[in-house]
Structure 1
């Protein structure tokens, strides 16, 4: 199994990554969001994620004579290494975060009642490289106005993977 996935299978590390996917946080803020996790465990697991290059120090600030660090997800999600392994690690993290988002949406659902707002689909598209770029540009144009919260809106997560498939020619 991939080392990244093994690291993320730890429940506390997974919870930390889920929280940091929302925004950068200090250990104190993480502790408030994860009150069931002992502070020492939280610090230890953050350090495991930092050592694995999944979490980075996003800032430091002097607080009452001590340095308080702010942690964020590593650039792996935003700008992965453009290698096969870098993209594989990015895909694993994206899939794991999407699964977390689906689980969060399902956590409020009532058994055997219609579920609204969750769409899961997989579609095979046939397009040239130029068409793929056009689709990406149009999606960016469509979604950019929806990135900032506005009155009357609520957050939704959109996950998409565009992966070229081998040809059978």
Structure 2
């Protein structure tokens, strides 16, 4: 089983729980959309920062193009919302843990492609507006290269599930 397939399979339950929670938001409604962005900001921004500080750019040379907290902040500002208190991110103490965390953030970029269609007219959507088509294949290739040992895949899955849990706590 590929590293990507294992991550997808072993994070499915956490991913579904998060999707179920976020699906309750009406992204065409300014208030719901703002709440959605605030929940994302509380988790996404500190997780992305922690991944950067842990050395994600060393593993993913395209990391600087992957980061998108800036656009999330801009969308909140455009809605007149302050950044929420940050959630405590998981520890990314190994390369495998960094891979697991990055997997969730990059996967959320793919989800953003679908979600941006539901955003109400006139609402800012820079955070959801990044085309993942060029990044995802390269990212998956890096994941496969980096997570070749079973122990690495176990650590990556644990990290990815911890990231999903951080998002879920922020959403609640």
Tell me, yes or no, whether TM beats 0.5: no
Q: Which structure shows the bigger proportion of residues in helix conformation?
A: 2
Q: Give the TM-score, by structure 2 length.
A: 0.28
Higher-strand-fraction structure: 1
Q: Radius of gyration: which is bigger?
A: 1
Higher relative contact order (CA 8 A, sep 6+): 2
